Chains A and B, each alone.
Chain A
Amino acid sequence: MEPLKYIGKRIPEIYAWAKVTGEAPFTDDLRLPGLLFGKILRSPHAHARIRSINTSRALELPGVVTVMTGTDTPGIKYVAQISDMYPLAIDKVRYVGDPVAAVAAETEEIAEEALALIEVDYEPLPAVFDPCEALLDGAPLIHEDRINNLVLNMKRDFGNVDEGFAQSDRVFEDQFSTQAVPHCNMEPRSSAAWKNPDGVLQIWTGTQSPYFVRKEVAHVCNLPISSVQVMEVHCGGGFGSRSKYCEDEGVTALLAIRSGRPVRITFTREEEMTTTRIRHPFILRIKTGVKLDGTLMAREMQVIVDKGAYCHYGPAVTGYAAGTAASSYRIPHFRFNGDIVYTNKQAGGPFRGFGAPQAIFAIESQLDEIAEVLGIDPLELRVKNANRSGDLTPCGWAITTCGLEECLEKVSQAINWKERQKGPKEGRYRQGKGLATAIHVSGSNVFPDGEFSAIELKMFIDGRVSVYKGSGDTGTWANTVITQIVAEELQLPMESIRLISMDTETTPQSLGSFASRVAFEDGNAAKMAAAQLKTFLLESAAAALQVSMDALFLQDGMIVYREDPSKTLSYGDSVFRSPRTVGHILTSAYHYVPPTVRLTPKGYANVSAAYAFSAQGAEVVVDTQTGEIQVKRLVVAQDVGKALNPIAVEGQIEGALAQGMGYALTEELIVDRTTGKVITDCLDRIMLPTAMDIPDESIFLVETQDPEGPYGAKGVGEIGLNPTAAAIANAIYDAVGFRPHKLPIKAEEVYFFLHPEKR
């Protein structure tokens, strides 16, 4: 086999120059002729009935083009997983920030002024912010059709859990809780739309999944899907926040239709932080049975998911938490009970990890407890129970390749785990080390929309290729990696390849950029489409040169005869001559469907074609006088299958670590318990890590060469965040004996633990 020329290489991003100069266009950078500025009026109440809305004063303001309330729209709710939200509230508002009306005006200032002139008569209703209280009889009902505010109850039962507990020597029960976190993409959400003269509603929006956007927008605007077109634009960070649809696109589209002009809505930072779909807070009860030798026998997890006001993709997130809990380490029996509960708060949605970080925090913290009680080294306990290649987990995940043991080995060596000081530490500043691991999908077959990616290639008579890719690239370098794959297969320089993505009119449909699926699934589609195009080129060249196809090879745009390298044909000439060429374009396309099974209602299926693994080690120092926690070092060994572009892979891991550290220690969306207003409504208050906070990091890429992945690759986007908080929590326990049961882990809690008399 020829050595790889583009795959596995540290190749710069394809948009690099545009990004370092700032010229890569994000939605708010587009200049559409006649553009109107849209603004959304939002509820000041956490829960209220809308008695009436008077827009006449706003409409009179010069420069206002249109004002729209829920009753001016087709009155259709978003599809989501459970259809429960209108683009603009019609009957009730359910959280502080719920969209109530929208304005389009000639300038942003006028739009803002107009908002202040809209009079809404609210009848405030009692609100509930705590999911446990929301479940009680007599709690205010947020959606009238949901008894006890229960969106739904999710049950999973695999094996025989009771028997597993009966066979256990010890059973451990613990409770943990995690917080809400906003994604804090640096680009505040922005979408622009207009209905073009042909009647096509065109939308520009930084999204991970243009086809989900198209589906939802067409639905709420009551238009056929094919008359909505999502257009290509850069996206300033996804992390799940733009993985399905965001509610601003629907409002923008409705304003554009109503006003007959292009409209753009760009969120303020405050809107971005207080009204978008955040990471769900979980309350987790976990019960685990073990043998004295550390063998895990059974696990039961009960979670309460604080859904906030609307369902969005809450059930999928909860289901994935269940899958993760069933599959983290070898567990023969598993049971899960999840209550997804409405509260009068900003709703949750997908966020990097998709429910896994919450579950893993509980699992890994408890695993350390188990190790301590049984007197087993935490590393040994993990190695003993680690997943292995060939395992079938209780919920049906079929693990083909697994590098977890090697990952654990690498991490423990790097942090000198075996030589660490065990037991209680001395002195003011105490060091501690902690471990945690994760398993994650590479694409996940859970949606009725299907699980597939498609790539289309067109080669022109100048020998250049255009790649049409349906999913978005939110900055993950996905488009670069796909270009590398095409370059490799066609032996064509990166510069000769152009990639067009996320244009629903020109790119074939793909599910989108989420679930760590693009490099894997779009990657496979690209590889196969390119391999097919290669065959077409060779076939045409073989006829032209009158030699057999196998005697030819591709080299930088030329098809070369092996026996006599002076005999060549350019790709362009080959395209020109091919009988498959239509209109001087040689086309190849591939629709990749991974060998997976759609998730069943009972939660059993092999949802992914490959599973990635990560082991992480954290070293912290705790100041016993203040409780302050400093992360000194994070070490990651990740089973990436094959690193298609090591810069991109490291970038994903480093970014995930920073987010994981923030999740562990600082980031929290705090809601005022009397008003329901978000207190942490600006970047200054959410405490994201800055360059000053980043610890030393070591990253090891473990390449297990997955048989189904393109060149052996697995998904890498999310898993880097999943175990970080747990590793840090375990390191804190190792340092000072404080077991965090709650995220984020606050210095004052450590302080009060160490100085109980001060509480």
Chain B
Amino acid sequence: MKHIRLQINGVWRTGWANPGQTLLDFLREELNCTEVKKGCGKGDCGACTVIMNGISIDSCLTLALQAEGAEIITAKGLGTKDNPHPLQEAFIEKGAFQCGFCTPGMILSAKALLDKNPKPNREEIRRGLSGNICRCTGYRKIEEAVASASERSSNQSDDRELKDQ
């Protein structure tokens, strides 16, 4: 057992991790971050996606020990109800989820995509989401939501630029 320290959604947390424990199990079982979902535990579904130090990863393929000192973002940390993230707004408005099990991971993959490429085309969106399986929606509304979030964010930054001027 090793005591590790890491930031989750901006808050420092600590917990005990086994040497072989995955970051996913550590987050869920030790820190109760149950918004990170386990769909396969093998890197096949993307439900466990988190953003670690700016990069989206499958937390089931990462060891907890590797996250020592890391900054982790989960779906819960993207926004608040009063100040939602554009992706959260877009997912809600477009109805880009059904059961919601894939959604936290899907949103984080979309965020990682938009962080790198704020105006992805359709092909790029699809590629960006291709590691996340959704069995419910058929992906169409997810794709629309990501496109709409990308527009929303660029409008918001345009607004900001206008205000700055």
Contact = CB atoms under 8 A, between A and B. Distances in A.
A185 B99 contact: yes
A20 B140 contact: no
B38 to A, nearest CB: 7
Interface in A9-42: 10, 12-13, 15-26, 28-29, 31
Given A236-B37, A269-B40, 9 more contacts: A15-B100, A21-B78, A22-B36, A236-B101, A475-B101, A477-B95, A654-B138, A684-B42, A692-B130
B138 A21 contact: no
A20 B101 contact: no
Given A31-B32, A477-B98, A690 B133 contact: yes
Interface string B31-72: 010111111111011010000000000000000000000000
A26 B101 contact: yes
A23 B143 CA distance: 22
Interface of A: 10, 12-13, 15-26, 28-29, 31, 183-188, 234-237, 239, 268-269, 474-477, 647-648, 650-651, 654-659, 682-684, 688-692, 694, 697
B35 A475 contact: no
B38 A28 contact: yes
A186 B95 contact: no
Contacts of B32: 31
Contact of B38 (A24, A188, A239, A691): A188
Contacts of B37: 22, 26, 186-187, 236
B103 A20 contact: yes
A263 to B, nearest CB: 16
B104 A475 contact: no
7 contacts: A20-B87, A21-B75, A476-B98, A647-B95, A655-B135, A690-B139, A691-B139
A28 B133 CA distance: 19
B153 to A, nearest CB: 16
Contact of B102 (A15, A186, A234, A239): A186
Interface in B72-130: 74-76, 78, 81, 84, 87-88, 91-95, 97-104, 107, 125-127, 129-130
A692 B39 CA distance: 20
B137 interface: yes
Given A236-B100, A682-B42, A691 B76 contact: no
A20 B40 contact: no
Contacts of A28: 34, 38
Contacts of A690: 129-133, 139
With a 10 A CB-CB cut-off, give which of B76, B92, B100, B137 has the most chain A CB atoms. Answer: B100
B134 interface: yes
B5 interface: no
Contacts of B93: 12
A472 to B, nearest CB: 11
A545 to B, nearest CB: 38
Given A21-B75, A21-B76, A237-B135, A654 B140 contact: yes
B152 interface: no
A236 B133 CA distance: 13
Contact of B92 (A20, A236, A474, A684): A20
With a 10 A CB-CB cut-off, give which of B75, B84, B97, B126 has the most chain A CB atoms. Answer: B97
With a 10 A CB-CB cut-off, give which of A25, A29, A236, A697 has the most chain B CB atoms. Answer: A236
Contacts of B84: 20
B133 A22 contact: no
A205 to B, nearest CB: 14
A691 B126 contact: yes
Nearest to A187: B101
Nearest to A476: B98
With a 10 A CB-CB cut-off, give which of A20, A235, A268 has the most chain B CB atoms. Answer: A20
Nearest to A657: B138
Given A658-B139, A691-B130, A20 B88 contact: yes
Contacts of A21: 35, 75-76, 78, 88, 104
B99 A235 contact: yes
A121 B44 CA distance: 35
B136 A475 contact: yes
Contacts of B104: 20-22
Contact of A22 (B34, B41, B42, B87): B34
Contacts of B81: 17
Contacts of A19: 97, 100, 103
Task: Across the A-B interface, give the 8 residue pairs with the lowest CB-CB distance, nearest first.
Answer: A475-B99, A22-B35, A19-B100, A236-B101, A22-B104, A654-B138, A658-B138, A29-B34
A651 B42 CA distance: 28
A512 B97 CA distance: 22
A694 B139 contact: yes
B138 A186 contact: no
B142 interface: yes
B125 A474 contact: no
A655 B138 contact: yes
A58 B53 CA distance: 42
B98 A237 contact: yes
B42 A269 contact: yes
Nearest to B88: A20
A16 B94 CA distance: 11
With a 10 A CB-CB cut-off, give which of B97, B125, B140 has the most chain A CB atoms. Answer: B140
A495 B140 CA distance: 28
A313 B6 CA distance: 49
A13 B95 contact: yes
A659 B130 CA distance: 16
A239 B135 contact: yes
Contacts of A694: 126, 138-140, 143
Given A17-B92, A25-B34, A475 B44 contact: no
Contacts of A20: 75, 84, 87-88, 91-92, 97, 100, 103-104, 107
Interface string B15-42: 0000000000000000010111111111
Contacts of B45: 186, 269, 683
A20 B37 CA distance: 12
A22 B76 contact: yes
A153 B129 CA distance: 46
Nearest to A696: B140
B44 A683 contact: yes
Contacts of B88: 17, 20-21
A669 B140 CA distance: 26
B76 A23 contact: yes
Given A13-B95, A684-B44, A651 B133 contact: no
A10 B94 CA distance: 9
Contact of A23 (B35, B38, B42): B35
Nearest to B107: A20
B99 A237 contact: yes
B98 to A, nearest CB: 4
A184 B103 CA distance: 16
With a 10 A CB-CB cut-off, give which of A19, A23, A659, A689 has the most chain B CB atoms. Answer: A19
A16 B87 CA distance: 12
A15 B88 CA distance: 13
Nearest to A109: B18
Contacts of B40: 188, 269, 682-683
A280 to B, nearest CB: 19
A186 B136 contact: yes
B125 A691 contact: yes
B99 A651 contact: no
